Structure 1
């Protein structure tokens, strides 16, 4: 009996965010019955694949309704899954419609049928086939059965570690970095015998560290190992740029993205992040070029829409920016950066309620991204709802605890709520993890100790702030600290110190300068007597 050729093997590519490929299945049952079924169903499978490629998913499933080979079962159930997902999207009412606020209201109605059929399959047919296991894991995750879904996806990846889509599905199910590390250990034990399998584990570990914003030697070591094996792989170069971006090293990130553009000019992946870098650095001409360049390649990519939106945002044309972010979300409703950045635009337009909705959708899309939680905190802070704001800032901080901005935001909330001692602790934590001595933080901590009537500690922080003039540069905070020290010395009757400090103040707003001059005149009069 002749088995179908390699060309007859089914290749299925899902066009939604989770790409799932069906290639040569090395772990499929090799018994005679399965081979016979696959042979007799080859024509129907080919027809179903054609319908699938034409996006006629219901027809593809219907053609295979009486087929029982694992290939036919997979394409039938997967077509049903995509068809149900498509209907769910169609039933939702607009990008920021009222119905979108309740994601449980609209669901994939084909999932119960898919789960039932998969669970009725014979044990060997399911547990020895990586593709059916992957699909089973996906629908379990969508049914909120995370624990079992993760176990099923783990089994699928042990059978076929080269299904990158399955790795991404598993990653999306993790709620914390500690949960991810448990599975990393399990994979390390399960895949330790094959070098090529370890490569896939390295890619996964690298992606896990990126998603959870982990900055450690491990991520650099993994990148170096993979770069040695794949020296010209643009994906790895983009990861280096993203690491620099997450560490706020915008200059280095810009250089790396420039190199990627030169080596792989038609690659649009991650260019929306590049546009964020140019936006922050206020390089409007370069951002304008990037927007035009991306539009020429493919103007209907979500990344392109985000780049153009960033350009309009930099030009303070916030309505146009929102229009392009909505266009990006029409193309891909799970575009995280579009939800988050659209929230920023609504904040600029003082539309806090729309901003909160955008940030909430970003959190629903990926609750592991600190930026959406931080944005929610900012939006509620604008509404003077500081308890809500505090909660969201704390969630952001739990995801990125080594970012001083998170601790500053929490400290500010505690200050507004009258929790001065807690506020001091947060600002001190921010100061501790800051790479450079932050004079703004030093002055802020000093003023809070003054509220607590701890004048001695206040004096020490003000002195530290003032002394940074010699290490860095004169700022408004160092001038305010110097003015506070001058007032303190005048209260102690040390008029020579008062005069020296006050007369040296030449930087700051008009109030600072006026008070410094008044103190200097008073000190001069006292000294002349």
Structure 2
């Protein structure tokens, strides 16, 4: 449990983190920090006097994490920040070329990485595709960043370690990546993006608890650690009690946080408690109707609930907010899928993937549409792409099993259903599918075991 003093100190660190993450152009981390901070109860805040940076300067000073710059470095950095905000990543890297102060090095190399990602996406063929598509290009900036950071790895600050961790992940050097990211969050735990990158390296129950044990050693009492472990428990589909173990102490103090509410809604959705999830999503929509995050999952929920009218309203409202967001395209696609307009659904899923090629949920749902259209080759391609992005996507593994059964390859389907069941051992649907596959292979004893497991889960 966390005391009121813990929450008060956490609030101060969040206020400081907004400046630090923004200084490093880590806008996803900044956004996450503001959503948590906005949920802090008012009795922890002093509203009796105006809050200004100047009056809180002793609290908000950032020089411990971002060493002071020379006048020339400061001017260069300010210019680079403005260009970064305009997504002129190549320009940022050029302006900061040769500068090695930690903050400037990070922004230069981070911009270089993002420029490489942008060029990679631009060079990728249209959506999709099929088995004949040329494999996507790699980010050509990775090797240069790796060669610059590797020799000075032991002297890197938290942010350059975070970037180094990303590069190591991309190079599939997972052990080294985990070490770099663990060290990064230990040095500065309020960079949420570093936590999210660390989370991609855990996909099994054992890996989760190994990571938890290491974090407990490095960060004995940390609210951010609890928030991370709660989210990771959701993402790798651990039993609900594991999620609540970490979230319950936080929910008490952050009931007003939209982020916390969205995590609770996702937990109910994953546990197939759709009515509770829908109530929470409705509450989120009412409190913050312009927030698009997690609304794609909400649209999936409405699809499963058969709530076409609410799904139509959601799709219309999201189009009015921003029709060019991947989440909006996914929501509209779900609406068309719910109304049986599969061709329109495919079009919007493709549009979502043009905007964000790493949108694994859209790949999975597009695969489902291709299953409906009996285009198993395209479906298999989509599911494989989803798994390449997120190997914890049990729906994609399940979809692969369905596709392989459709082309009369039950021995292949068996493998995919086993993977889906490993990821969702408490989901009766996975066991039924696995049982059916064993039945097709005339392994009746194993089929019976699966059906018994599914029945037991259904009666819980």
Task: Decide which of 355, 358, 361 is 1:331's aligned counterpart.
Answer: 355
Q: CA deviation at 1:361?
A: 0.9
What corresponds to 1:344 in structure 2? 368
What corresponds to 2:243 in structure 1? 219
Q: CA deviation at 1:16?
A: 9.0
Report the Cα distance in structure 1 between the residues aligned to 2:27 and 2:126, rounded to whole angstroms: 21
Aligned residue runs from structure 1 range 74-473, under 5 A: 74-97=106-129, 103=135, 106-121=137-152, 123-124=154-155, 126=156, 129-192=157-220, 198-435=222-459
Report the Cα distance in structure 2 between the residues aligned to 1:72 and 1:329, rounded to whole angstroms: 32
Q: CA deviation at 1:379?
A: 0.9
Q: CA deviation at 1:149?
A: 0.6
What corresponds to 1:446 in structure 2? none
Report the Cα distance in structure 1 between the residues aligned to 2:149 and 2:339, rounded to whole angstroms: 53
What corresponds to 2:99 in structure 1? 67
Q: Secondary structure at the match of 2:200?
A: helix
Q: CA deviation at 1:107?
A: 0.8
Pair 1:176–1:75, CA change in 2 (3 A): same
Pair 1:18–1:182, CA change in 2 (3 A): farther
Pair 1:329–1:15, CA change in 2 (3 A): farther
Q: CA deviation at 1:349?
A: 0.8
Report the Cα distance in structure 1 between the residues aligned to 2:21 and 2:422, rounded to whole angstroms: 46
User: Does the 8 Å contact 2:400/2:416 carry over to 1?
Assistant: yes
Pair 1:186–1:17, CA change in 2 (3 A): closer
Q: Secondary structure at the match of 1:139?
A: helix
User: Does the 8 Å contact 2:345/2:369 carry over to 1?
Assistant: yes
Q: Secondary structure at the match of 1:428?
A: helix
Report the Cα distance in structure 1 between the residues aligned to 2:255 and 2:315, rounded to whole angstroms: 28
Report the Cα distance in structure 2 between the residues aligned to 1:171 and 1:106, rounded to whole angstroms: 25
Report the Cα distance in structure 1 between the residues aligned to 2:360 and 2:114, rounded to whole angstroms: 21
User: Does the 8 Å contact 1:19/1:165 carry over to 2?
Assistant: no
Q: CA deviation at 1:265?
A: 1.6
After superposition, the CA RMSD in angstroms is 2.6
Pair 1:123–1:295, CA change in 2 (3 A): same
Pair 1:150–1:9, CA change in 2 (3 A): closer
Task: Decide which of 74, 79, 82 is 1:50's aligned counterpart.
Answer: 82
Deviates more, 1:38-47 or 1:70-79: 38-47
User: Does the 8 Å contact 2:153/2:161 carry over to 1?
Assistant: no
Q: CA deviation at 1:47?
A: 2.0
Residues 348-404 of structure 1 show CA distances to partners (whole Å, capped at 9, x for unaligned) of 111111111111111111101211100110111111110111110000001111111
Q: CA deviation at 1:99?
A: 8.6
Which structure 1 segments of 5+ residues have no match? 1-5, 437-529
Q: Secondary structure at the match of 2:23?
A: coil
**Normalization by structure 1: what TM-score?**
0.74
Number of residue pairs the alignment of both structures matches: 417
Q: CA deviation at 1:215?
A: 2.2
What corresponds to 2:23 in structure 1? 11
Q: CA deviation at 1:177?
A: 2.7
Q: CA deviation at 1:97?
A: 3.1
Q: CA deviation at 1:10?
A: 6.8
**Normalization by structure 2: what TM-score?**
0.85
User: Does the 8 Å contact 1:92/1:99 carry over to 2?
Assistant: no
Which structure 2 segments of 5+ residues have no match? 1-17, 34-59
Q: Secondary structure at the match of 1:214?
A: coil
Q: CA deviation at 1:244?
A: 1.4
Report the Cα distance in structure 1 between the residues aligned to 2:289 and 2:20, rounded to whole angstroms: 34
What corresponds to 2:6 in structure 1? none
Pair 1:217–1:81, CA change in 2 (3 A): same
Report the Cα distance in structure 2 between the residues aligned to 1:119 and 1:24, rounded to whole angstroms: 30
Q: Secondary structure at the match of 2:256?
A: coil
User: Does the 8 Å contact 1:52/1:60 carry over to 2?
Assistant: yes
What corresponds to 1:458 in structure 2? none
Q: CA deviation at 1:115?
A: 1.0
Pair 1:270–1:100, CA change in 2 (3 A): farther
Report the Cα distance in structure 1 between the residues aligned to 2:282 and 2:21, rounded to whole angstroms: 40
